[in-house]
């Protein structure tokens, strides 16, 4: 017997939004786990990249509460390895953008010690601001 997963209109709307922002067809993911296997930061994450993909497929906004989307360093390892040609880095970016566009920052730059700011390269500071603040 075929079981059909029904997605509520609200969840469908969320899925569409992530599809649009990322430019990816998230339903193409077949949960092979290649992204999670190759992710250099997976040990720091609370859910794996493939779990993140599954939650988005189901249109569940709770995905935004996980630390994993912020731990992603946009290294594109998952991007080059995905057998379904999904750019998982872009999906993580879309999820971060959904939060950042509500003017909710992920880091407080002012809280970083001055001596730390002084030694960090500009590319580190600018990219962190681009990825973690809106």
Partner 1 sequence: MNTTKETKSKSAENMKFPYYPGCTLKTTAKNFETSAIATARALGVELLEIPRWNCCGTVFSLAQDDLIHHVASVRNFIRVQEMNDYGLVKNENRLVTLCSMCFNTLKSTNRRMKDNAEDLKKINDLMYREEDYKGSVEVLHFLELLKSLGYDKIRDKVTKPLKDLKIAPYYGCMILRPKEIAIDDPEDPTIQKDLLEALGVSVIDTPYKKVCCGSYQTVKDKYIVAELAYDILSHARKKGAEALTTVCPLCAFNLDQRQQAVKEKHPDFEEMPVFYITQLMTIAFGLNKEVYGFEQNYVDPKPLLKSKSLIED
| 11 lies in the binding site for partner 1 (CB under 8 A) | no
| 102 lies in the binding site for partner 1 (CB under 8 A) | no
CB atoms within 10 A of CB 45: 19
Single out the residue of 10, 16, 104, 130 in contact with partner 1 (rule: CB under 8 A).
130
Token digits for 118? 């002084």
| 107 lies in the binding site for partner 1 (CB under 8 A) | yes
Least separation in angstroms between CB 25 and partner 1: 13
Say how far apart CA 118 and CA 114 lie, in whole Å.
6
| 54 lies in the binding site for partner 1 (CB under 8 A) | no
Say how far apart CA 100 and CA 110 lie, in whole Å.
17
Say how far apart CA 78 and CA 94 lie, in whole Å.
15
Question: Rounded to a whole number, what is the distance in angstroms from the first to the last CA of the chain?
Answer: 47
| 20 lies in the binding site for partner 1 (CB under 8 A) | yes
Say how far apart CA 40 and CA 128 lie, in whole Å.
18
| 87 lies in the binding site for partner 1 (CB under 8 A) | yes
| 94 lies in the binding site for partner 1 (CB under 8 A) | yes
Residues that bind partner 1 (CB under 8 A): 20-23, 40-41, 43-44, 70-71, 73-77, 79-80, 87, 89-90, 93-94, 97, 107, 112, 119-128, 130-132
């Amino acid at each position: 017997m075929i079981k059909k997963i029904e997605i509520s209109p609200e969840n469908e709307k969320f899925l569409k939004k992530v599809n649009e922002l990322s430019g990816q067809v998230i339903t193409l993911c077949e949960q092979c786990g290649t992204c999670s296997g190759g992710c250099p930061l997976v040990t720091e994450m609370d859910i794996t990249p493939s779990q993140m993909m599954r939650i988005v497929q189901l249109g569940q906004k709770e995905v935004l509460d996980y630390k994993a989307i912020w731990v992603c360093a946009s290294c594109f390892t998952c991007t080059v390895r995905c057998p379904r040609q999904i750019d998982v880095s872009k999906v993580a970016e879309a999820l971060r953008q959904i939060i950042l566009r509500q003017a909710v920052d992920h880091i407080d730059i002012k809280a970083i010690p001055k001596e730390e700011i002084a030694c960090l390269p500009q590319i580190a500071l600018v990219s962190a601001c681009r990825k973690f603040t809106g």
